Amino acid sequence: MPLKRLTFSRDTEVTNPGDDSRSFLFPFSMVAADLAGAPEEAQATTKHRLIVTVANNRLPAWHLADPDLVKVLFEIGRRAVAEKVKTGKLTPEHREVVSCASHSRDCPYDPSRIRESEGAIFKVDEERRMGFK
């Protein structure tokens, strides 16, 4: 399986005025892990945008200060992106929505166990596709 390396940059809040939600952008780049540090790394690297939007009705239930909220949203989005990478279906922009329908009343993760998005590096195995193109 080809191993991909995802490197995240600084997160930014990108909420539109008047939205009944909050949105955060987590930019990242992706390259085949075996090309990391190689002369052709720059040409093989792709840039991506992960935008995670949380409905305002989740905020009071989760009782999180902004830094912890951003960490939890990063973890939710990072896992969704990893699934897209595994299946070979990652697009330049991925949007993940967090609402009552997708997440329970309780916060799904302990923010103290989640690292900041800036500088985070993750490796993901891309599944080999079988058959003809």
What pLDDT, in 10s, does the model give residues 107-130?
A: 999 999 999 999 999 999 988 666
Q: How far apart are CA 44 and CA 29, in angstroms?
A: 10
Residue 48 φ/ψ, nearest 5 degrees: -140, 160
Q: Express each pLDDT in 26-78 by its tens digit.
A: 999 999 999 999 999 999 999 999 999 999 988 898 999 999 999 999 999 99
Three-state SS at 33: helix
Dihedral sign from CA coordinates of 108, 66, 95, 5: negative
Global confidence as pTM: 0.91
